[in-house]
Amino acid sequence: MRNAGHSVSLICGTQSSGEERMDPALRDNVMDEFRNGVTRVLIATDVLARGIDVPQVTLVVNYEMPVSYQSRGADYETYLHRVGRTGRFGLRGIAVNLVTDAEKFRVDEVCSFFACKIPEMDSDFEQLEERLRLLR
């Protein structure tokens, strides 16, 4: 994404070791840059599923649907918190779920649980681009 000219930041949890380790001060700095518009794209793990309020978030992309490790079904609470990062404070927003044909049942589980419809989009992404334009 950076090679395409997008200002991108990455934020992940606070594991004590390993490649995923991120110092809390660095994580705070990344969030400040995102809040202040220094970076416009923030790629995050579930560390940001809860507890962040950034009004200018207009798009959330779920690279994979959250799964409950106990039931192996959809994790409804985490899903709600993830997609709830967009469209806050009376603003409009879009949440996109990237799923394979084999994973579509997870979207169906979420729709059934929340009694809602999640429209399937063409993989051509022009439709998404148009919807995002309408948000501005």
Fold of 49-136: Rossmann fold (3.40.50)
What is the number of H-type helices and E-type strands within the chain?
4, 4
Residues above pLDDT 70, as percent of the chain: 92
What is the spatial distance between Cα 103 and Cα 101, in angstroms, rounded to a whole number? 5
Extract the tokens encoding 128: 């998404």
Average pLDDT over residues 33-54: 81
Retrieve residue 122's tokens. 């063409």
**Who wins on pLDDT, 85 or 99?**
99
What pTM did the predictor assign? Answer: 0.77
pLDDT digits (tens, 9 = 90+) for 50-65: 777 787 788 888 888 9
- CA distances to 92, 100, 136 from 87, in Å: 4, 25, 12
Mean pLDDT of 15-25: 69
